[in-house]
Each structure stands twice: as C-alpha cells, then as structure tokens.
Amino acid sequence: MIHLKLCMVGAFAVGKSSLVQRYVQSMFSEKYHTTVGVKIDKKDIALGATAVRLVIWDLAGEDHFSALRPTFMRGAAGYLLVADGTRGHTLDAALDLNRQIEASQGPLPFVLVLNKEDRLDEWEITAPRIEALERRGMKMFRCSAKSGAGVELMFEHLAAGNLKERAS
Amino acid sequence: MSLAHTRAKSDPASKSPSEWQRLRSLLLGAEQASLQALAAKVGNRDNLARSVASVLAEATAIRARQDDGITRALAPIINDGLQRSVRENPQPVVDALYPIMGPAIRRSIAEALADMMQAFNRAVEQSLSPRALKWRLDAWRTGQPYAQVVLLNTLVYRVEQVFLIHRETGLLLGHAQAEHAVVQDPDMVSGMLTAIRDFVGDSFHVSQEDGVEAIRLGELSVQVRVGPKAVLAAVVRGNAPQSLRARLSETLEHIHQSYAVALGRFDGDTAAFSNIPGDLEPCLVAQAREHARRPWRAYVGIALLVAGSAWWVIEHHEAAARWSAIVTLLEREPGFVVVEAGSDNAHIVRGLRDPLARDPRTVIETVGARVDDIVWDLKPYLSMESSLVLARARLQLKPPDGVTLRLEGSTLSASGIAPEAWLREARRRAPLIAGISTLDDRAIEVKDRASLNRARQTLNEAALYFEPASDSLSDSQLAKLNALVPSLFVLRDAAAAAQIAYSVDIVGRADAPGSSEFNLRLSQSRAEAVRRYLLAHGAPATLLHARGIGAIDAVGPQANEADDAQRRVNFEVIAASAETGDPAP
C-alpha cells in the first residue's frame, strides 16, 4: 500500500475542514486546530490497481504562512491550496501561502481549490482571473463542501499525480 | 571361405604384435577410441567426480521419488555433521536458526500468555472479592473490558502499542499492539504524534533529536525514540522502567540496520515494511505487580481450617469416648450381650438382649449422649445372670407382699408369709423357670396357718374362773370370754383356708371339796355354760365340744394348784392337717 501525506492549507474559514470532513475517516475533533494547529485524518482509496492511504494533515487556517507551522508540511506528497470563491482576498492569501511554501519546502505538487461552488452567484473570484491562473499552469478545482461536488476528484487528482510521477 | 583360408594358411605365432594391433584398429578402431575415452573418465578420479557431479542432483531426485533410501543414508551423516558443526562453531547454526526460533518462541509465548490470560480472567471474574467488585464497577463505568481493568490494576506497566513512524512524513511504517489493548487508528495516531512532536519542537525551539522523549498523561505515557530515519513510539500504561527505554532504543537501532535501504528511499510504499510488526512485538512487554500485602484471606482461611480441624478432633475424640462409654455400659449391663458396636457411618449396636433387661436407652442415659441416632439391632435371649433369673422368677411367680425371693446358685429361696395357694403354685412352677433348679421355701410361713396357730394359742392359754360350786361366770370372766370370740372366727376361717379340720374342746373343772360326782357335774355344767355363751355369740356349734372332768386328782402335776384356780374352764384346740401333711402341734 502506498501511504501519502497530503496537506490542506488556506486562509481562515475557507472551508478546508468542511472539505476534509466530506471526504475522510476521522477520529480527532476540531479543537486540535486551535490547540496543536493541525488535525490529521485518513482516507483509503484505490487508484486503478493501487491501494492508496491518504493521510491528510488539515492545517489550521492562517492568512500568513509565518503563522502556519512549516514543519507540518515536511514530507508531504502534495497539498491542496484552498480558497473561498465568495471571498476574493482568500485567493490572494492562498497564492501568498503557496509562494511561501515553495520557498521553504521547494516545489511540491499542489492543486488550487475554490470552495463554495454551490454559491456561484456570490463569487468574487472572476472567470478571467481563474483563466489567468490556469494559464500559469495551476490545476484548479471548483468544489462545494456543502454538496460534496468535486471533493473526491481533487484528492484523487493529487494522489494520481503522485503515482504517475513515481512510475515515470 | 577366405577367413578359413587365411586361418589355415597363417600361423598365429608367426604374426608380429604390431600386425595384430593394426588388425584390431582396422576392425575395431571407432569402438577402441570410445572405450579409451570411457576408461579415462572412469579411471581418472577427477574426471569421474566431474561426470557424477553433473548427474548427482538428477539422480538424487529420481531415487528420492522411488524410495527413501537416500534419506536413510543421509540422516546419520547430517546428524553427525550438525553435531560436529555445533561443537566446533555453533554460530552459523545459531544464525541459521535465529529467524525461525524467534517467531516460534514468540508465538508459543503469546499463545501461553493468551491461555493464561483467559484462565486468569476466568479466575478473577469468578472471584467476588471487594477489589474484584470495584474493578467490575470501574469496567462498567469506563466501558473498558473487565480484563483490561484487571490488567491496569495488577500490572506495574504494560506496553500497549508500538508505532514505527517515518520521521520525515509522519507516516506509519509499522504497528504492534498488545492483546486487549484499546487501539485507535494507528495511521492517524502516528500522524498526530508527529504533529505534536513538531508542535512542541517549533514552540520551544528544540531540535528534532532533542524533541519530545515522553508524553505523560496520568498513568499513560508515550515513550519516543528518534532515529535518523524513523521514530519509535511506545504507548505505556504504568511506570516504564529504564530497561524499557533501552529496549526501545535497541529495537530502533536494529530496524535501522535491517531496513537501511528501505528507510533511505521510502516514498510512501510500505510494502518493504510488512515484517515490521514482528520486529516491534518484543517491545510489547509487561510486568505484573507483586503483591506485598499480607495474604490475610489465606491467614483467615488457614485459621478457620485449624479451628475447624481442632473442633473436629475434639468432637471426634469426645464422641469416641462417649461411644466407648456407651458400649462399656451396655457390656456391663445384665441381660445384654454386645456382639458388635460400630460408629463408622452410623452408631449401631448388634447383640442380644434379655426381654427383662432394662431399656438400652435408659442404660446409656447416664452418659448424657444423644442416643437418637443409635441403630439398635438386638435379638432376644434368656440371660442366666442371677439378677435376670431373679427378675424372671419374680415375673413368673408373682410373689405376694411379704415374700422375699433370693437366688443362690440355681436355688431360689423364698421367705416371708405367703398364702398356701401361692406356695403350691410356686413349688410347681419354680423349677420350670430358666436358671432355677429348686425352690427352697422353708423360710415361708403359710399365711392362714399362722393365724390359726395364733388363735389356737390364745384359746389354749385362756382360762375362765368360777365361784365355788357355781357354774355362772362373773362379769369379769364374761368379758374375758367375750374377748375370745374373735379368735374362734379366725380359727374357723384360717382352718377353712388351710383346709385343716379342727375342733375345740371346752374343758370344765371343779375344786377338790365336794363329792366327785358333784364335781363332775359341776365341771360339766361350767363347760356347757361357756359353750352356750359362745354359741349365742355365733360360734359354730359343730366344732365346740363341752366336757367336764371334775376335780383334779390330788396326785399329779396340778395337785398343788389353789382351789380358786381349780374352778375353771379351759379350751383345747384339736387340729388335724388336711392336705399339707403338716402335723398340728
């Protein structure tokens, strides 16, 4: 079995925990975020013939990476950069976090996740901006923690990317 | 034809050896070459070994399929070889066996421990000591299995889980857990442990190597050992000794050695670490708490046992003494023969009892024992003991009041006053009674004859006196006569009872003066007067005979009597025995 450590990072209250909650098998309560700063969950999936165990480190939401503990990112196979579609500044914060992570950990596979797809009409993040980011090569997912749409896909994409890289 | 011709013409001796040789090579050239090659192969040791070696494995396989000849041939050789190898240098054998022995022993121990745990659990579950009840309550309160609670309370420490964690990623490489341990998802715990270590390291600015070595919460602690590539974390309940830390370190070092390559290039694939749980299991150690408490339960138990035994011994001894006393009493009691007296299961007395003997319950009453539980098996018999013979005589003869019976040997002696009828019956029956041969009744006075004798004596001794020449009784003499009347009735009744015939002569006398004829008449008249008086008072006439004998002769025994004394009437009772043959005096 392949074990992969994935991290969830993003600004405060963008719905990281809700997304994880949608997806995983959990044993720790939310209070770990405020105490230790991270909550760890697990998900067993099958990608083709390969059994994969995702160990998901859900990092407490901080707007600045300095407040985030870089050690929690150590050894991660990839991360999900989460922003709230209805709050434009969370995307700025996410991109800022991304730059900081790359600076401290080196390049790591990641996906940009825009949450709250269920409230598209309230979105502040515009389509042109999204297209601009995609043109920069960022893999972007729109999802909804509320409906569950797109949640599985973003985790599996990250895991599959890792397997593919490992095979090559 | 040509061969025959050649043989006939040629002399073998005339041919040179080289010619023969040439002929041979002409005829058998090819065969000769192959024969030489074969000889070279068989004759040369190296060649032979090489050719046998090339088919040895196949030959062995073929033979092994046919029978077990090779096995039998090799067994002693292998045994000898193994012994020699162990003698000379055991290390290679140890190394070869080590991977097999370790798991086998572990498994065996684990099974033994599991069995022991089960037995232990059963024993504890069945016990109802206050401590066990408290633990049961704790188990119910905390929702833990009962065995777990018992373990927690009886162990100094126990390693419940061991995690091997990849140091960089925090991913779980392996996990082992003790039986009955409560375990959460090891992957998540492993990640969280790493996160906490990171958190502490970040918060207090310490390097990873100096990071958290132990996390303690109440009686639970997590002992952490950090290696270059992996972290070993042991969850310990209770107080972990120093030796455990050393063991964890050794295990971690061993894993680093054994899995150096796999650890070095770990990328999330845990396949290379599938044997890690086996490596971690030796860390799952436990130490039971030694109870220094005084085993008061055992003391109380032993005390009770001793007291019980003492009570039993005393009771048993007393019971035995009582029983012995009872048996002795019964053996001494006349009319009892104790044949068997047992007190093994129940108290039982077998023997003989004379029907006239005392009730056995009465006999043993004096011992003061409870006698209800004695089973009596007594057959009747006739005892020849004197008291029983006497009792039997009394029962059969029914002696009247006033008669005493005694036994001397086989002679029954009777004494006292008894009715004639009883005496007759006693004489008849006494010799028929078991234990009695004769009846001695010389000391028996027959009741009726005695009164008869007394009455006769009274009458014989009585005398009624008269005035001179008078046949009238004075008042005083009449009173005297009146007092004699009852004696006459007694005489009559007693004689009738004793069946004795009797008669009373009333003898009148006169004094000397006067003519003898006159005196004779006077004496007759005096006797008649007395007779009339007696008849008038109911005396039977037939038995009373009056006669006068006149004056007493001047010579004779009564010649000197005064005249006053000579004027009198006397009684002479004449009795003749009817049946007794006892002559009247």
Q: What is the pLDDT of residues B210-223, one digit of tens each?
A: 667 788 887 788 88
Contact B248, B283 (CB under 8 A): yes
3-state SS assignment for residue B384: coil
Q: Which CATH architecture has domain B448-576?
A: 2-Layer Sandwich (3.30)
Q: Are A71 and B202 in contact (CB under 8 A)?
A: yes
| Strand ranges inside A12-162, DSSP E | 38-47, 50-59, 78-84, 110-115, 140-142
The CATH number for B298-380, chosen from 3.40.50, 3.30.310, 3.40.1000, 3.30.300, is: 3.30.300
Q: Measured between alpha carbons, how far is A86 from A84 in angstroms, rounded to an integer?
A: 5
A42–B199 CB contact, under 8 Å: no
Phi/psi of residue B208, nearest 5 degrees: -55, -40
CB within 8 Å: A36 and B195: yes
Contact B196 A40 (CB under 8 A): no
Residue numbers in chain A where pLDDT is lower than 70: 26-31, 33-35, 62-68
pTM above 0.80, yes or no: no
| Binding-face residues of B in 343-402 toward A, CB within 8 A | none
> For residue range B156-187, what is the model confidence (pLDDT) as tens digits?
788 999 999 998 888 999 999 988 777 888 98
Could A55 and B270 be called an inter-chain contact, meaning their C-beta atoms sit closer than 8 Å? no
Return the pLDDT at B578: 43
CATH top-level class of A2-167 = alpha beta
Instruction: Determine the pLDDT at residue B585.
Output: 39
> What pLDDT is attached to residue B15?
64
Residue from the list B188, B192, B202 with its beta carbon closest to the beta carbon of A69: B202
Pick from B314, B397, B395: nearest CA to B354: B395
Query: Between B168, B184, B195, which is nearest A72 by CB?
Result: B195
Enter the tokens of residue B256.
């680093």
> Are residues A74 and B168, on separate chains, in Cβ contact within 8 Å?
yes
Each residue of A73-84: pLDDT tens digit? 888 999 999 999
The ranges assigned to domains in chain A are: 2-167
CB B222 within 8 A of CB B214: yes
pLDDT for position B179? 83
Q: How many CB atoms are located within 10 Å of the residue B493 CB?
A: 14
B580 interfacial to chain A (CB closer than 8 Å): no
CB contact under 8 A, B188 and A40: yes
Which candidate, B86, B92, B88, B56, places its Cα nearest to that of B74?
B56
Nearest-CA distance A139 → chain B (Å):
23
CA distance B169 to B190: 10
Which of B164, B173, B193, B199 best probes binding to A when mutated, by most A CB atoms within 10 angstroms? B199
Give the number of beta-carbon pairs within 8 Å between A and B.
Answer: 74
Distance from CA of A105 to the nearest CA of B (A): 12
Show which residues on chain A lie within 8 Å of chain B, measured between beta carbons.
1-5, 25-28, 32, 36-38, 40-42, 53, 55, 57, 69, 71-72, 74-77, 162, 166
Check if B172 contacts A (Cβ < 8 Å). yes
The CATH code belonging to domain B127-288 is: 3.30.450.70
d(CA A73, CA A103): 12
Question: CA B494 to CA B517: how far, in whole Å?
Answer: 39
pLDDT value of position B352? 92
Residue A1's nearest CA partner among A72, A69, A55 is A55
Q: What is the pLDDT at residue A55?
A: 92
**Residue from the list B169, B184, B196 with its beta carbon closest to the beta carbon of A36:** B196
Q: What is the pLDDT, as a whole number, of residue A63?
A: 59
Running along chain B, 585 residues long, what does each successive block of 10 average in pLDDT? 46 70 83 86 86 89 87 89 87 79 79 73 63 83 79 78 91 89 85 84 71 78 88 88 86 89 88 90 81 67 91 87 85 88 81 89 73 81 89 89 87 86 87 89 80 85 89 90 87 78 88 84 91 87 85 60 81 68 41
Do residue A5 and residue B196 have CB atoms under 8 angstroms apart? no
Which residues, at least 6 apart from B20, have a Cβ–Cβ distance to it below 8 Å?
A: none
